[in-house]
Structure 1
Amino acid sequence: MSERLIPKERLSAYQRWEMASFDPPLPDVVDPVETARVAAQEEGYAAGYAEGTGAGHADGYEAGRAEGFDSGLADARAHAEQLAALVTAFTAAADALDAEMSESLMTLALDIARSVIRQTVQTDPTVLLGAVREVLSAEPPLVGAPILLVNPADLPLLDAYLAGELASAGWSVRGDAALARGGCRARAGSGEIDATLATRWTRVTAALGRENGW
């Protein structure tokens, strides 16, 4: 029997044969200290992460809330300023309108009063008597041959109502066509009194702060 040769490339390195063990493998030895350390590390990391995340969220929320509040407050202030400006403008317009209306009403009232006085003088000439009595009671009184000038149409009225009073006070009465009915003018050595309707009207309107001619 011839020997068969095994090619070299099929030869393997020499290994010692040993019987396999049938015992179960021993478990890895666990170091309790290392286990506790790792657990503590992981727990600390988890706690730190949660805390950091919570704090970051809270800070972000607070920052967002503060920013939103500031923005809302700025808008509210802007609207308040606009509203205040509108109120001011409305008040100014109302005041101007009120002043304009007051001015118009005053002008209307004076126009009506002037018209009424003129009509009254025409229908009731006795209104002259009030003006004459004011001249006679003026202070200081006129002295030095006082003269009362009236419209010639008013002479009969004075003769009927004030002739005795004027005579006893030393007054003389004369007619002056330049004077309108209802008024008079007094002259004396001590001065002069203008009691014409135009002058008396000017005094009244001036007292009211107006210039409204007769």
Structure 2
Amino acid sequence: MSNPIPKEKMTAYQRWELASFDAERPPVTPPDVRLDVPPAEAAQVAGEIETPPQEPPLALPTAEEIERVHHEAHTAGYTAGYSTGYAAGYAAGYDEGIKAAQAVATDMASLMDHLQQALAAIDQDVAEQLLVLAIEIANQVLRQSLHVQPELILPVVREAVTALHPHHGQPLLFVHPDDAALVRSHLGEQLAHANWRIIDDKTLSAGGCRVELGASEVDATLETRWRRVIEAIGVSQEWLKARE
């Protein structure tokens, strides 16, 4: 006969006792329903268990939502198109700007080159005009000096007659009539001693003379002496006449 198990050692099984017929029977709780949860959550859990899930009804967008979506799409498209177009336009404009700047720089360089050439030509022309003016002033000063001091013809005559040494024949001295009287009064005796003959020549300018002895000649006219002066400074008579 098996030994009885003490009451305090019973764990998984409860000792069965006959209940009282008058006592109130305790409520039976479903195994999946927790008694400690609120009634609302319990009802929701029970509903989820008993009722199969249903798809929510399809909600159509309102006119305001459609307008908003259209506006956002338009704005996004405009922004994207503007950014792309701006980048492409900037690149193209930059290239065109570089080409335009290079063209302007080339034109400016050509203009500066022409300007420098023009300035050089102007400087040369101004220098030539100043030279012509200086020569003309010197010429006028010389003629005025001879007019004020006619005795300046005397050293010219002395130099001309000493350039020839007459051994035979008749040496001739040609001077302007206004100078002839002055030469005779100052050099007449000296020239007569050397057998010189003084001849008045209206074709000569005052202040000059010409000497002849046979086939030899000394040109000491005012024009010839002046030409030698300007040639000494590198100016030809032809150039001077062209500039005048």
C-alpha distance in 1, partners of 2:200/2:107?
A: 70
C-alpha distance in 1, partners of 2:176/2:119?
A: 48
1:182 to partner: Cα distance: 0.9
Q: Which has the higher contact order (CA 8 A, sep 6+)?
A: 1
Out of 145, 150, 159, the position equivalent to 1:134 is 159
Gap runs ≥5 in structure 2 = 1-93
Q: Which residue of 1 aligns with 2:174?
A: 149
Q: Which residue of 2 aligns with 1:25?
A: none
Q: Does 1:174 align with 2:199?
A: yes
Out of 88, 94, 98, the position equivalent to 2:123 is 98
Do 1:142 and 1:192's aligned partners in 2 also have CA atoms closer than 8 Å?
no
1:167 to partner: Cα distance: 4.0
The structure with the larger Rg is: 2
1:212 to partner: Cα distance: 3.6
Matched letter for residue 221 of structure 2: T
1:80 to partner: Cα distance: 5.4
1:150 to partner: Cα distance: 1.0
C-alpha distance in 2, partners of 1:99/1:162?
A: 48
Q: Does 1:183 align with 2:212?
A: no
Do 2:161 and 2:211's aligned partners in 1 also have CA atoms closer than 8 Å?
no
C-alpha distance in 1, partners of 2:122/2:217?
A: 44
1:77 to partner: Cα distance: 6.4
Matched letter for residue 85 of structure 1: S
C-alpha distance in 1, partners of 2:218/2:152?
A: 18
TM-score (norm. length: structure 2) = 0.48
Change (3 A) 1:94 1:165: farther
Matched letter for residue 208 of structure 1: V
The alignment partner of 1:116 has SS state of helix
Q: Does 1:211 align with 2:244?
A: no
Identity %: 37
Do 2:132 and 2:240's aligned partners in 1 also have CA atoms closer than 8 Å?
no
Q: Which residue of 2 aligns with 1:89?
A: 114
RMSD: 3.6
Matched letter for residue 141 of structure 2: V
TM-score (norm. length: structure 1) = 0.53
Q: Deviations over 1:146-196 (max 9, x none)?
A: 111112222232234333543454432222233232111111113122222
Q: Which residue of 1 aligns with 2:30?
A: none
The alignment partner of 1:177 has SS state of coil
Do 1:202 and 1:211's aligned partners in 2 also have CA atoms closer than 8 Å?
no
Q: Which residue of 2 aligns with 1:193?
A: 218
Out of 118, 126, 141, the position equivalent to 2:143 is 118
1:99 to partner: Cα distance: 1.5
Matched letter for residue 222 of structure 2: L
Do 1:151 and 1:181's aligned partners in 2 also have CA atoms closer than 8 Å?
yes
Q: Which residue of 2 aligns with 1:7?
A: none
The alignment partner of 2:134 has SS state of helix
Aligned pairs, how many? 147
C-alpha distance in 1, partners of 2:129/2:165?
A: 40
C-alpha distance in 2, partners of 1:160/1:76?
A: 83
Q: Deviations over 1:57-103 (max 9, x none)?
A: xxxxxxxxxxx9xx96x888666544432332122111111121122
Gap runs ≥5 in structure 1 = 1-67
Q: Which residue of 1 aligns with 2:34?
A: none
C-alpha distance in 2, partners of 1:199/1:124?
A: 20
